[in-house]
Structure formats: structure tokens, C-alpha cells
Structure 1
């Protein structure tokens, strides 16, 4: 029996769908059409989009010339947006970074597969963005120009980074599933002993890898005081208490290809339906509270004292975000943060609820 070929719409057909649904978000329209978001953008090549080289060492030096822009990183449940300049880029084979007061990012080059420069007509003029996608066509990172951006550099960037391939169709790989929680009860004593010896938070991933576990699997096994399960409602309580408190945090949001970080306090919190939103000048977060399935307060020992975090996971075990207390030369908010975390409600067991 012959295999049935999967037929995807042509670039022209996709553009017609875009025209018919001008108010539908790209992610939602892509889902409706059974496409990846990258394929939706690729369909606009020659009609407002130009495919670019996605090589970080070529892209990031060019980004600096745009001046002030908005950097956006997201996963299925959380979006972080920071306004600043792509300054102080450091290249790395396996991990690169941008590190400055406004934009703080870690990038994993193996996931930066396809990039586009996109121009979209809007009521208030042309919106310009650079959008980067992974092999499955999922968004890794986006850069949105602002009124204060250096538009004079835009054409130069597009010319310098223009890819030789400018097709309006794009082949993507199957999306890799989220890794389910992995633990090994036979190694729990080793996990606890090695955890207690950590001197840096970066040692945690090496430890779990060595024991053939992963982050959530280790949290479920190690027990208090190293990891304490919290009530899902603790997330909103935490955000409400942080808003306007002056307590400085490190807020991490990421996906396989990019992690974006906010360092500092925040003021404005505004719920909208299932979304909880931080809406500060230069810093926004949009969080789907209803996607949060597990919450953990985690304590990792370091040479500079305990690093205490709150970490949230979705129903598949995917990490949504992490928050740590922040210490700078000017201020140390870790004490206030640690007290806040200690006061958050624990997850009650079935026996306690009975």
C-alpha cells in the first residue's frame, strides 16, 4: 500500500490565509494551518520577509548597530520581553551570551537554525523584527525594533546577513518531545550526598546527567530541605508579594535555544484572564498561570551561600521559569527573597487533605 503524502499549503496559499486572518497571532494561525511558525514566516519571503543567516557570530555584531530594541524569548507558557541594546556579545561553541544591564541572555547555537527579517504594515507604520527558529520551526528568539531603534542600520543588516536561499517554503524537522521526569531511587543517597557538596549552581546539571536523571526527576526524589514541593497557588502569591516590594530577583525564561534573564525588581502586575503579566517600562512577562502543574522551592549550596529558587513546570515536565534572589554591589536581596520563599505554602499531600 503506497504511503499517503502529507500536503502542505503553498506560500501563496499561506499568504492568503494570513490576509484573511490579520488579527490572529502568528502562533495561533500556524497551529490552525498545521504548520510551524517558521513555515508561516517563510511563506512571506519576497512579501515583507527576507531569510537571513542564523549564525550567532554573524548576527549579534550586526544587532548592536540597531541600538535600542526589544528582546523576546518564550516557551509555550511564558514570554519575557526586555528593552535594551545587544551589547557585550561573547561567542561560544556550545553556548554564547549577551551580558549587560538590560539584555542578559544565554544562547545555544545548535538550535539557531533559521532566521528572518520581517516587515509588517501596521496602523502606526511598518513593524520590523528579526525572528529566529529551531529545526522544528519553533521560535527561539525575536528582536523587535522600536521607535528609538536605528532604522538606518536595518537595510545594512539585511544586506549583510541575507541568506542565499530565499524560498517561500521551508522544511522542518519533527518537534522533539519534552523529556519526562527521570529519577533513580537506587541513587537517591548519592544524589543527596553530591548535592550537599555543590559549590556552584552550574554543577547541578552535571550531577543529574552523571546519575542519568534530569531536573524535575531529581527534585521529586531528593526531598527537603533541598527541594520542597509548593502549592501551585504559591506562584501568584509570590508575584503579588514581589510587585512593588523592591526585592531584586533574577527571572529566567527560556526554551531549548535561548534563555533570557531579568535582573532587578518590578512594580506592575496585571492579571488578564489566564495570564498574569508584569508590565514595567523595559521589562514585561506574560505567564499562563493555568499551565503550571508543579512548583518547587529549591536550595542549591554555593561558595557564596545557598542559592534558593522557585521553579515551575508544565504538565509534561517542561520548565516554564525560574526565579532566584539577586545580589549586586549595590544591594543584596537574597535575605528578603529567601524569607519570602520560606513562607510560600507547601503542596499538601493526599493524607493531609484527607
Structure 2
């Protein structure tokens, strides 16, 4: 959208008033703006611009007590309840490592941030919301009834930026990278894949061969990958629930990856959404946006890491699921049996 076509903060607030029941992301799409621009239109009216860098935000979040951490992509929302602590800073990658809230953070994408407060029949609703340069949501921290609401005002004062002008300029959104394969390097890919000792080495291998994750999956073949039917995603969730095993579920955007580590107890389908609705963990997944699914096996020093990975029609990664392999909590054998039983994709003629 050209700058002259961007609605004014007043126009954005009027559009929000006309659609009070639309979620923020859906309303922003309807207006044709980013979610950060939607939020920033209310600066001075329950919204404050705050410091965005995780080195500042994460220690502040620790003071809020029990909160809900939210990270999302277009087709999937990942929500965890817990306390922020054990923050590990880093110039390129940082981490929050607790039993409940487990994050991988990429600080260069933490560009805009706001403290948001609304009041209604249920009382005050407060959150810290972080966005990337294009104004897309990176990570959100929502206070709950059990949060330290007295600390909110102190945290807000500490984080508040000098610039409190309404509105927000954003950069053009970068498109999702489509699958990149180099078929003539398929044999090198398979040979180097077999030598992996850690899952984190895989993306470095892809980069070295001028491919990306999805592109590599499309040419690797057995025994490294198996192309699954899109319906395998729901079948996997139902099988994990029925088996009572623990899994790791990763959902991430350019700026943050959020991880659930534990069981899945309650599934509640609603229209195109499949929803995990457990105490401390909610997942909202648009099954109709799952276009491509792969079962993937990578060798590690602790044995093979088996995952189920779902992608949207643009090639964007929606989520990854792994079996939990912690000592005393090893769900990997049962997880492997579940993955082996998932339906394969129908072979399509070239």
C-alpha cells in the first residue's frame, strides 16, 4: 500500500469502531494495513509505544508474574501460560527457557512494541505486543487474572518511549520464501544429511547447498522424508491425544519460535479450526490452510529426531511436532509409531 493510501489514525479508529467483534489481525487485513498500524492508531488512548528489544522487554515481563505468551503465524496460534524467567540474551538469537514458556528469539525482528490496555465488563485487559518492521505480530504477552497487575504500571513507566505520537510507519512486507531445491545436488544433500549429529545443523546444510527446508524435503526421498496427506495433521493430533504421550510443538515466525513440551488432552474442532484447549496450552490451527505435510527423520547423537512438519500454500512453515526425548519422559518410540501410521500423500503424476 502506498503511503498516500494509508488511512489516518482517526480513520483506523473509526473502522475499528464499525467492526468491534473482529479480531485485530482480521480487522487490519480488512482495512488493508498492518496490525502494528492498527494498534498504533490508539497511542494515547490506552496504547503506549514502548521499547521493543528483548533485552529490555524480557526482564520486564518477568516482573508481571503468571501471563500468557502468544506466538503465531497466519494459520496457527500458539499460547502458553507461565512465568518469564531464565532469559539468555544474544545479538542474533536469544532464549527464554522455562518449563512452561520456551522461546527462541531473533532480536533483529523485534522492531515496534506497544503496551495495550482496554477496559470492559471483565475489567482491565493488558498486554505487551511486539511487531516486526512490516508491522506483523512477532510475540505478545497477555496479563491474566493471576498476573501482578500492580507491577504493570511500573513496567509501563520503565518501558515507555519518549515518542508517543499516534500512528506507525512500517516497511514493505517481505514475501514468504517459496521452496528452493537444487535437484542436481540431491545426492550431496542425502550424503550430508546422513552425517548430521544435531537437528540445528540441517538449516546450515540447506544454506550451503542453496536450498531451503521445504525445497530439501521435496528432493531428499526415503529414508529421510515421507510426503504425507494434509489430513495427517489432524490424524497426528488425535493419535497423540489418544496415546497420552508428550510432544514438542513448535510455532514460529521470523522473530520468535514458541515451543510446547507436554501432552495434548483436549481437542475441540470448530469449523476449519482444530483447537487444543488444555490448561496452560492452547493451539489454534487452520486445517484448511495446511497444503503440504512431511514426516522427517534427522540423525542426532541421541538417536533419530522424527518430526511432522506442515506448510501453507506459499511454502511457509506452519508448525513442527517432535516426540519428547527427555530422560524419564521418552515418548519417541510411541511417537515414531504414530508417525509411521500417518497417511501418505497421493502420488501426483509429473
Q: Name the TM-score class by shorter chain.
A: over 0.9
Provide the rounded CA distance (Å) in 2 between the counterparts of 1:304 and 1:333: 13
Within the alignment, does 1:294 sit opposite 2:295 as a pair?
A: no
Whether contact under 8 Å (1:244, 1:268) holds in the other structure is no
What residue is the counterpart of 2:233 in the other structure? Answer: 235
Q: Which runs of 5+ in 2 are unaligned?
A: none
Within the alignment, does 1:85 sit opposite 2:83 as a pair?
A: yes
Give the CA deviation at 1:5.
6.1
Provide the rounded CA distance (Å) in 1 between the counterparts of 2:25 and 2:346: 36
Change (3 A) 1:322 1:5: closer
- CA distances 1:26-49 after superposition (whole Å, capped 9, x unpaired): 111111111100000000100000
What residue is the counterpart of 1:29 in the other structure? Answer: 27
Whether contact under 8 Å (1:245, 1:267) holds in the other structure is no
Task: Give the TM-score of the pair, scaled to structure 2.
Answer: 0.98
Provide the rounded CA distance (Å) in 2 between the counterparts of 1:13 and 1:177: 27
Aligned pair count reads: 349
Give the secondary-structure state (helix, strand or coil) at the position aligned to 1:271: coil
What residue is the counterpart of 1:262 in the other structure? Answer: 260
Whether contact under 8 Å (1:105, 1:258) holds in the other structure is yes
What residue is the counterpart of 1:197 in the other structure? Answer: 195
What residue is the counterpart of 2:4 in the other structure? Answer: 6
What residue is the counterpart of 1:164 in the other structure? Answer: 162
Provide the rounded CA distance (Å) in 2 between the counterparts of 1:331 and 1:31: 42
Provide the rounded CA distance (Å) in 2 between the counterparts of 1:276 and 1:339: 22
What residue is the counterpart of 1:16 in the other structure? Answer: 14
The ranges of structure 1 where at least 4 consecutive aligned residues each deviate by more than 4 angstroms after the TM superposition are: none
What residue is the counterpart of 1:247 in the other structure? Answer: 245
Give the CA deviation at 1:90.
0.4
Provide the rounded CA distance (Å) in 2 between the counterparts of 1:234 and 1:19: 40
Give the CA deviation at 1:14.
1.5
Query: More deviation in 197-206 or 121-130?
Result: 121-130
Task: Please provide the CA RMSD for this pair.
Answer: 1.2
Provide the rounded CA distance (Å) in 2 between the counterparts of 1:123 and 1:244: 38
What residue is the counterpart of 2:111 in the other structure? Answer: 113
What residue is the counterpart of 2:338 in the other structure? Answer: 340
One of 45, 48, 64 as aligned partner of 1:47: 45
Q: How does 1:254-333 map to 2 (within 5 A)?
A: 254-333=252-331
What residue is the counterpart of 1:102 in the other structure? Answer: 100
Provide the rounded CA distance (Å) in 2 between the counterparts of 1:197 and 1:327: 20
